[in-house]
Amino acid sequence: MMDMYIGIDLGGTNIAAGIVDENGKIVAKDSTPTLSSRSYQEIVKDMADLSFKLIEKAEISISDIKAAGIGTPGSVDAKNGVVYYANNLNFKNTPLREELQKYINVPVAVENDANAAAFGEYKATGVNSSCFIAVTLGTGVGGGIVINGEIFRGFNGAAGEVGHTTLITDGILCSCGKKGCWEAYASVTALIRQTKVAIEKHPESLMVEIVKKNNNEVSGRTAFDAAKRGDGAAQQVVDQYVRYVADGITDMINIFQPEILVISGGISREGEYLVKPVREYVKKNGYNKGALPMTKIQAATLLNDAGIVGAAYAAELLVK
């Protein structure tokens, strides 16, 4: 029997959880609504109920579970299993570990969700690399830095805010209050804004038709889909967006020279269509132009499951 772990990915909308084996394979998974305005006690009770359901589904017993992990939004005191603060969940000094252990008496890891997702991708593709970085392109731009198998947290636990490095000093105002952050250009939120500007300028573009078919909603896929069908205006949006992404990734590589850098978030489903030009940009503009071994840049493989696998991996580290 392999060692089994519970991985819980707590989001603002859903609680996703899985039973994950020691190889990082999800053997059972399910989700339940977070209903985020509730108390943390109610939310954690649902995590426990979901876990027991999954134990049954996986046809294992609670004694097979070595540890559990929770990936949560917000800033986390990983050592004590407490969430300092998460604004979209009304968490403040919330003892998630202690609360979950009322139901499941195993070691419980509590990890920031972006870190957990990075850990998941690390478990899937990066184990044994001395430095591994996951950059997540989503509503914002997040990152997880894994050095010698551990999340790099800085002295106060708040390191890794790679989305809040400057791409254009004094540029577009970012949600963090600083101007010109990478996130303000390379997040999917930014891509949607860039797509809307292009649609405004090019009413003849295929993008207009695609948006109509999508309930009049511009998404992160709009420009990519139109560009693949030969639309010039869309191609311009994609090219510029990819350049923004690639420039920030070049920064990360110049600073860290990680063995592997993974691009995650829904947009990484574009695969080589996104990753290939990023790789070419880094090869041309990176400080290391091939004189030394170069960072492998690749699309994430786990995507939505990264949070579950990463939380389980954080759990595994607790008992290893």
Q: Which residue ranges make up the site for a second copy (CB under 8 A)?
A: 75, 85, 129-131, 145, 147, 152-162, 164-169, 176-180, 185, 243-244, 247-248, 250-251, 254-259, 284-289, 291-295
* CA distance linking residue 267 with residue 211, whole number of Å: 17
DSSP 269: G
Q: How far is the CB of 177 from a second copy (least distance, A)?
A: 7
Q: How far is the CB of 138 from a second copy (least distance, A)?
A: 17
Q: How far is the CB of 56 from a second copy (least distance, A)?
A: 41
Return the ∠ at Cα 72 (arms to 121 and 101), rounded to 5°. 110
Q: In what order do the strands lie in the sheet with 14-21?
A: 26-33, 14-21, 4-10, 65-72, 108-112
Q: Return the closest-CA partner of residue 159 out of 167, 150, 151.
A: 151
- Return contacts of 173-181, CB within 8 angstroms, 24+ apart: 175/140, 181/141
Q: Angle between the 113-121 and 306-319 helix axes, to the nearest 10 degrees?
A: 90
Q: How far is the CB of 178 from a second copy (least distance, A)?
A: 4
Q: Which two tokens stand for residue 248?
A: 């920030």
Closer to a second copy by Cβ: residue 267 or 282: 282
Closer to a second copy by Cβ: residue 121 or 247: 247
Q: Which two tokens stand for residue 168?
A: 């254009």
Q: How far is the CB of 37 from a second copy (least distance, A)?
A: 23
* CA distance linking residue 237 with residue 204, whole number of Å: 15
Closer to a second copy by Cβ: residue 142 or 310: 142
Closer to a second copy by Cβ: residue 138 or 248: 248
Closer to a second copy by Cβ: residue 15 or 274: 274
Closer to a second copy by Cβ: residue 52 or 84: 84
Q: How far is the CB of 115 from a second copy (least distance, A)?
A: 13
